[in-house]
A = this chain, B = another copy of it.
């Protein structure tokens, strides 16, 4: 027997975000079932990594307090995504798929899940910054697009738990005119440039800052994955599409890579890091150029809506500009709109990290649960 207010949850991915999400899910589940006015019962029925898979017998819940041990002990490999969609669509009540991976194949299967009425919440940027066709298929199927399938929410795909996507959607839906979006969208790039050229002077060589950032865990295992600008380009693609620009992909507009062309052939991240110092002079020149105008250099992304232009790369900012004044690895996103006039609506704070990314996913899950009531 299933309770009519039972919602089934399938979680894929147990990395940094996935693990933290599972503990937030545990917290949320026990809170929701105690809601005197209208309890909701969350039952996790699938938990999967790329290698291991556990699912419940007859859609009964997996125990969230022993998931790690249970998953490690599993000898089952994950089914294909279409088999998974089939299994979930037969659940005796509504289902939410939580994709805590950055898996492109899973992203491409979203329309399939949505069409079967399965809801999706995810920080996976791939689904929303891949081909425009995939974007159209997702929102053509989703109930919060033009379809009649499941709902899809992806707040954490830009700025982690910061309310970036929800705010942009509200501006658009209530009829404001968004002129321009500008900001620092990468915690790594924020940290790198806030250290390389802090307001007021200081900072060591660029290659030394990259090494420091890597040691402190601010970069991807291979720092080239940050320095190529693609992470930022994906986020900009998502925002531009939300505001109505039919951006073909995250590679269809200018993205400045900080990987010197001479180092593009490096076989490993380590080789790259070893040789990066050869190009410190070039970065030092950029720094001097900015300083000669009384400015600092930052790695930013922007969407110019009227001109239909998206761009990612280095730009110089006055020290009094909020982008220059950013601290640590914070993100900042400014929305310039008709209603907000000269002073943009600004959202600022940590835009990466397991806790805040998982929080965005959990908040999306809560949104879906409300809509499913």
Give residues in A with beta carbon < 8 Å to B: 24, 27-28, 31, 35-38, 143, 145-148, 161-163, 166-167, 170-171, 173-176, 199, 320, 322, 325, 327-328, 330, 339-350, 355-356, 359, 362-363, 366, 370-371, 373
Contacts and interface: CB of A to CB of B under 8 A. Distances in A.
A346 B348 contact: yes
A346 to B, nearest CB: 4
A363 B173 contact: yes
A35 B146 CA distance: 8
Contacts of A24: 174-175
Contacts of A35: 146
7 closest residue pairs by CB, A with B: A345-B349, A346-B348, A174-B362, A170-B363, A339-B355, A27-B175, A37-B146
Contact of A163 (B38, B170, B176, B349): B170
Contacts of A371: 370-371, 373
B325 A37 contact: no
A342 B328 contact: yes
Contacts of A342: 328
A37 B145 CA distance: 8
A325 B325 contact: yes
B175 A167 contact: no
A163 B163 contact: yes
A355 B371 CA distance: 28
Contact of A330 (B170, B327, B343): B343
Contact of A146 (B36, B145, B173): B36
Given A325-B320, A345-B348, A175 B28 contact: yes
Given A347-B347, A350-B341, A363 B320 contact: no
Contacts of A31: 175
A318 to B, nearest CB: 12
Contact of A147 (B37, B340, B347): B37
A165 B114 CA distance: 30
A143 B339 contact: no
A369 to B, nearest CB: 11
Contacts of A320: 199, 325
